[in-house]
Amino acid sequence: MPVLEAVQLGKQYHGHTALSNLNLSIDKGDIFCLLGQNGAGKTTTINLFLGFTHATSGKALVNGLPVQPNEIATKKFIAYIPEVVQLYGHLTGMENLDFFSRLAGFTYSKEMLSNFLSKADLQAEAQEKRLSTYSKGMRQKVGIAIALAKNADAILMDEPTSGLDPKATAEFTRICKELAAAGKTIFMATHDIFNAVNVGTRIGIMKQGVLVHTVLTSDITANELQQLYLETI
């Protein structure tokens, strides 16, 4: 059974079609990267899986359960890392993790919290520092630790490498691959063609709300993907 599935999923806003008849299946351990220009429908797709907005047609499913009308139940299976991770700057990394874990219904010891942060590759000396001192890459690591603490089956990410330097992007790619190897499912909306080839198992290209192409990263090079993307958009 797919962890994330869209069945003829569509969304309209005031007569404008943001997403049209999307059929998509993402299995356990997959890293699916969705490419497309701004307004192509990438964020709308994520929001439908998260239950932030309701579908006009079709359905989004998480672990076989329709998001509508089960938004509360399906949220237990997923975690979300937006382009800008919203955390509390006056709290430390560990305090943020503790707070959001408790919101999700989990209470952990300090040692366990530190272990989640370490698994997300946040160095021990940074864990007790305030978030206001963190770089974007460090904030993302706290977001990943929150997903781990929540024991989410799927992690949805919106432009996760935007604004990251090459070193931070490489670290992020490695963490994503480790998460997938551990059985997590990752759905990522991105503009980063070359990182999509490096991190993904499959890549989709979306245009004007339509998923035009889906390819295996094992079957395409970064240059070939770039050419296909430019021809599509």
Q: What is the pLDDT of residues 130-181, one digit of tens each?
A: 999 999 889 989 998 998 999 899 999 998 888 888 888 888 899 899 999 9
Q: Which of 62, 60, 57, 70 is nearest to 21 (CA)?
A: 57
What pairing do the DSSP bridges indicate for beta strands 202-207 and 185-190? Answer: unpaired
Cis peptide before 2 (omega within 30 of 0): no
DSSP class of residue 160? T
What is the per-residue pLDDT for 75? 92
Q: What is the pLDDT of residue 26?
A: 97
How high does pLDDT run on average in the chain?
93
Burial (CB count within 10 angstroms: exposed 0-12, middle 13-18, buried 19+), residue 103: exposed
At 113 the pLDDT is 96
Decide if pLDDT at 32 tops 90: yes
Q: What is the pLDDT of residue 181?
A: 95
How does pLDDT run across 196-214, given as a tens digit for each residue?
A: 999 999 999 999 999 999 9
Task: Using a pLDDT cut of 90, give the percent of the chain over it.
Answer: 75
Those residues whose C-beta lies under 8 Å from the C-beta of residue 85, and which sit 6 or more positions away, are: 136, 139, 140, 142, 143
Choose between 163 and 25: higher pLDDT: 25
Residue ranges of domains in the chain: 87-152
Which pLDDT belongs to residue 172? 87
Angstrom distance (rounded) from CA 165 to CA 73 = 37
Tokens of 158: 């919106």
CB atoms within 10 A of CB 218: 9
Instruction: Please tell me the distance from the alpha carbon of residue 3 to that of residue 209, in angstroms, as a whole number.
Output: 22
Helix (H) or strand (E) holding 119: helix 110-119
What was the pLDDT predicted at 5? 98
Position 65 pLDDT exceeds 90: yes
Residue 50's identity, in one-letter code, is L
Per-residue pLDDT tens digits for 73-92: 999 999 998 887 889 999 99
